[in-house]
Amino acid sequence: MSSVPADLRYAKSHEWVRPEPDGTVTIGITDYAQNSLGDITYVQSPKVGAVLAAGAVFGVVESVKAASDLYAPVAGTVVAVNPALDGAPETVNREPYGAGWMLRLKPAVPAAAGALLDASAYGALLS
């Protein structure tokens, strides 16, 4: 059974969103997604300053099984990417909700994350 932390919001495309105290949001892929992909070998991230539309592809994650597009769960401007993933993409497998985060966005609409799935709705999607 995949881990689904209650304090996050989720996209149907298996990305998670964590609102941060400074108004940004941190985004990564869910435990279910990393488990489905298998051993992650590469993460392609957007550039800081990139403006993303909700649902737009923001990068690619490659694993021993497949390459999969990553989708922005909310619209916004990229303010940070996780530099650790360049040298250690497997961090996403080990800590999908922690050190394996992928990017931080300044959301175009501050409340946008609230429209995503909560943990129980995302858990129901997986079952």
Residues 6+ positions from 88 with CB-CB distance below 8 Å:
none
Specify the DSSP class assigned to residue 107: E
* Nearby residues of 63 by Cβ (< 8 Å), 6 or more positions away: 37, 38, 39, 40, 41
Q: What's the rounded Cα separation, in Å, for the pair 65 and 67?
A: 7
Token digits for 96?
Answer: 């999908």
Q: What is the pLDDT confidence band of residue 2, given thresholds at 50, 70 and 90?
A: confident
Give the pLDDT confidence of 45-104 residue by residue, as tens digits.
999 999 999 999 999 999 999 999 999 999 999 999 999 999 999 999 999 999 999 999
Q: b/e map of 47-83 (b: 16 or more CB within 10 Å)?
A: eeebebebeeebbebebeeeebebbbbbbbbbeebbe
The dihedral sign for the CA sequence 6, 89, 40, 79: positive
The domain limits of the chain are 9-126
Q: Which fold has domain 9-126?
A: OB fold (Dihydrolipoamide Acetyltransferase, E2P) (2.40.50)
Instruction: Taking residues 1-12, report their average pLDDT.
Output: 92
Task: Tell me the pTM.
Answer: 0.96
